[in-house]
C-alpha cells in the first residue's frame, strides 16, 4: 500500500520500540517526525527528522503535530515507576497528544499495555479468554496510566470524533524469554504490520487490539483487529521448547496475566477475587 500522504509523528522514538518502528516505517516511504526526551541513538532514517522534546511541553507537541495525519504515541514512562514519575509524561503528556490530534484531525495510535488489565488471572484449561471490553485491572501505576490513556481515547472519540487505535501490547521483544511470553509475545514484524494497518485503515473509530502475535496459548480473546485488517503472522509457539520450562517461581507473578509487575510491592495476604467487584 502507498505511504501516508501526510507526515506521521512518532513519540518515544529513542525507546526500544521506537527504534524498531522508525527504520521499518521509513523503509516503507513514510515521512516521519521523531521525538523523544533523549537523543535518537541511531542513524536517522531517510525521510525522518528528529526533535528533542519533553511531552509536558504542550506548545512543542502542538507544533510538531502540525500537518500530521497520525500520531504514534509510544512516548512516556514504559516500565513500572512510582506515581510521581509516571504522572507528567504518561498523563499530562497524553493530554497534549490528544489536544494536538484534535486540532489536526489526526488519528492516534496509543501504545497501551497488558498491564492495564494485569490483575486478571490467567485462564486455566478450558476457561474463557478475556475480551477487550473486560474490566480494567491495572497492576501498578504504569498500568494505571495505560488504562487512563485508553479512556482518554474513548473521551476524545465520543466528544471530538478523534479516531484512536489502542494497542494493548503484550511482550514485544526479539523473541520470548520465558513461559509467560508464549502467551503474550509480539514480534517486531507483527508490531510493524500492526502499526501500518492501524494508520492505513480507512476508518478506525475508537478501537482496542490485543497486540500479540499468533500465539495459541494467548490469554486474550476478541478485539477490533478486523476493523483495521490486521492479522499477526508470527507465533511464540516456535520457541516453546526453548522457553516453555522457564517460570519465575513467584506464585503471584505466575497467577496473574501481568506477570512480574503484579508482585511489585504486593502486600495482600490472599489473592483478590476473580470477579473485580466481589468481596471474596
Is the Cβ–Cβ distance between 67 and 104 less than 8 Å?
yes
Q: What is the pLDDT of residues 115-140, one digit of tens each?
A: 999 999 999 989 999 999 999 999 99
The whole model's pTM is what? 0.97
The predicted-structure confidence for 68-89, as pLDDT tens digits, reads as follows: 999 999 999 999 999 999 999 9
Mean pLDDT of 267-276: 94
Please give the pLDDT value at position 236: 98
Asked if 191 and 111 count as a contact pair (C-beta separation under 8 A), the reply is no
Domains of the chain: 8-263 (3.40.50.720)
Quick one: pLDDT at residue 1? 59
Q: Please identify every residue annotated as catalytic.
A: 142
pLDDT at 226 over 80: yes
Q: What is the mean pLDDT of the chain?
A: 97
Amino acid at each position: 500500500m502507498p505511504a501516508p500522504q501526510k507526515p506521521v509523528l512518532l513519540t518515544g522514538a529513542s525507546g526500544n520500540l521506537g527504534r524498531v518502528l522508525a527504520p521499518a516505517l521509513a523503509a516503507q516511504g513514510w515521512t516521519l517526525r521523531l521525538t523523544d526526551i533523549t537523543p535518537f541513538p541511531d542513524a536517522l532514517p531517510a525521510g525522518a527528522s528528529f526533535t528533542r522534546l519533553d511531552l509536558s511541553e504542550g506548545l512543542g507537541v502542538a507544533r510538531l503535530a502540525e500537518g500530521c495525519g497520525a500520531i504514534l504515541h509510544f512516548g512516556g514512562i514504559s516500565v513500572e515507576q512510582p506515581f510521581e514519575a509516571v504522572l507528567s509524561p504518561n498523563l499530562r503528556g497524553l493530554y497534549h497528544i490528544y489536544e494536538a490530534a484534535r486540532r489536526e484531525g489526526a488519528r492516534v495510535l496509543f501504545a497501551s499495555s497488558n498491564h492495564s488489565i494485569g490483575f486478571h488471572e490467567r485462564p486455566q484449561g478450558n476457561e474463557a479468554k478475556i475480551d477487550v471490553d473486560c474490566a480494567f485491572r491495572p497492576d501498578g501505576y504504569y498500568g494505571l496510566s495505560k488504562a487512563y490513556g485508553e479512556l482518554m481515547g474513548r473521551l476524545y472519540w465520543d466528544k471530538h470524533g478523534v479516531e484512536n487505535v489502542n494497542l494493548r501490547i503484550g511482550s514485544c521483544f526479539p523473541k520470548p524469554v520465558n513461559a509467560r511470553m508464549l502467551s503474550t509475545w509480539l514480534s517486531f514484524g507483527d508490531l510493524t504490520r500492526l502499526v501500518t494497518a492501524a494508520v492505513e485503515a480507512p476508518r478506525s473509530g475508537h478501537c482496542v487490539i490485543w497486540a500479540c502475535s499468533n500465539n495459541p496459548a494467548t490469554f486474550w480473546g476478541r478485539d477490533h483487529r478486523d476493523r483495521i485488517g490486521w492479522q499477526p503472522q508470527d507465533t511464540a509457539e516456535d520457541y516453546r521448547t526453548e522457553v516453555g520450562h522457564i517460570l519465575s517461581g513467584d506464585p503471584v507473578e505466575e497467577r496473574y496475566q501481568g506477570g512480574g509487575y503484579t508482585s511489585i510491592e504486593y502486600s495482600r495476604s490472599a489473592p483478590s477475587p476473580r470477579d473485580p467487584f466481589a468481596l471474596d
